[in-house]
Structure 1
Amino acid sequence: MAAGRRNLNFHALLLRYGLVALFLGAGFEGETVVVGGGLLAHRGVFSLPGAMAASSAGSFVADQLFFAAGRYCRDRRWVTRQRERPAFSRVLRMLERYPVAFIFAFRFIYGIRTISPVAIGTSQVRGSVFLAVNVVAAIVWGVVFTAIGYAFGHEVERVLHRLLPSPTTVVVVGAFVVVSLIAVHLVRRRLAARNDVDRRPEQGA
């Protein structure tokens, strides 16, 4: 009885705050959250168009904020730390060679999604250009990764339905998404730290 009540409470939280969490997670964590949003949309926690819209909007808003940080807060500690990372100079080199294409594509490239709009903000790229390309790229990114999660949801549902009754399935999918996000976040932090350490001796050589 208590377990059933906890399941219903968790489901109610997903229904009430799921799109808000997806909006925030899409902006600050990335495609793992968006794929998870597609899974939950497939389970009916929220609509597929709603998940796509929240993911696209979260990505757009976050990247505009990161761009603004690079443009207007260059001397702040967080921005200067980003500028010291080896990835920052790599982003600027790619931006110089393919300005519009890179602005569109950076969110699809692993390891530079957050640092790229900051670096672009410190460049000579006009704010209006970044805004226009960012709108289109965020919509494409949000739709594509949400659709991937939604399509993958067919396979997840098939497996879970063999093991669990329907109400519990929703909770398990939600828990799966949360655990996956934590794991991916920890792995990304470790890989980013390792890449920075590995590249510093090369710069000093």
Structure 2
Amino acid sequence: MEELILRYGVILLFLGAGIEGEPFALAGGVLAHRHSLPVYGAVLAAIGGSCCIDQFWFHLSRYFSRTRIVRRVSERPAFQRAIELIESYPIRFVLLFRFAYGLRAVAPVAIGASRLPTWLFVPLNIVAAIVWGCLFTGLGYLAGPAFEQAEARYGKGIAIATVCLSVAVFVFVMRRGRPGK
């Protein structure tokens, strides 16, 4: 992944943050720490990718709800849970769904299918993407020295495995702290 990001820079980081999320934002932060990418470019790419993909899914669900892909997402078990949370806590849900790993994939589609107005979703989504992009790129930037030490001591493979394990632990801790778990 690092070689691809180095070659295609913030464009790949933008696409990766939108499609895959945290690993790309974290990698962007690590690469910014190494001065392989500009810090602000990495942050803006993570924010932009996250925001744009969620806008895409929201609008696809809102205006093209009969498409096969939207129907397939809406059949997932987490979709109904997302709808319930949107109806109960619309603003909090939009601001926090990026951090709810069980709902992350279905949330923008569910929001588009809900009664939440577009005029409210768009600014909330932008704010949430800014917080998310700054947080995960910043975590990657702060993890940069540890990644470099692990790479120097154990090689690149072990360093990447360490970062992946750290992300997995973070996800586990976040999921454990959610209400109802």
> How does the TM-score come out when normalised to structure 2?
0.82
- The number of equivalent residue pairs is 162
Long gaps (5+) in structure 2: 169-181
Distance 1:78 1:159 in 2: 41
Q: Counterpart of 1:97?
A: 88
1:29 to 20, 38, 54: 20
* 3-state SS of paired residue (1:49): helix
Equivalent residues in 2 for 1:75-94, closer than 5 Å = 75-94=66-85
Q: Going by fraction, where is helix more abundant, 1 or 2? A: 1
Q: Counterpart of 1:139?
A: 130
- Residue 163 of structure 1: how far off its partner (Å): 5.6
Q: Counterpart of 2:109?
A: 118
* Counterpart contact for 1:19–1:50, Cα < 8 Å: yes
Q: Counterpart of 2:179?
A: none
1:151 matched to 2:135? The reply is no
* Counterpart contact for 1:14–1:45, Cα < 8 Å: no
> How does the TM-score come out when normalised to structure 1?
0.73
CA RMSD of aligned residues (A): 2.2
1:176 matched to 2:160? The reply is yes
Distance 1:25 1:31 in 2: 9
* 3-state SS of paired residue (1:135): helix
Point out 4+ residue stretches in structure 1 off by more than 4 angstroms. Answer: none
Q: 1:30 to 1:15 in 2, by over 3 A?
A: closer
Distance 2:71 2:7 in 1: 38
Deviations 1:24-55 (A, max 9, x none): 01111111211111111111110111110000
Distance 1:55 1:78 in 2: 24
* Counterpart contact for 1:22–1:37, Cα < 8 Å: yes
Long gaps (5+) in structure 1: 1-9, 165-171, 185-205
* Counterpart contact for 2:73–2:106, Cα < 8 Å: yes
Write the letter of the residue equivalent to 1:176: I
Distance 1:163 1:32 in 2: 21
Structure with the greater relative contact order (CA < 8 A, sep ≥ 6): 1 or 2? 1
* 3-state SS of paired residue (2:36): coil
Distance 1:119 1:163 in 2: 44
Q: Counterpart of 1:39?
A: 30
Deviations 1:104-147 (A, max 9, x none): 10011112112101011011111111001001000000000001
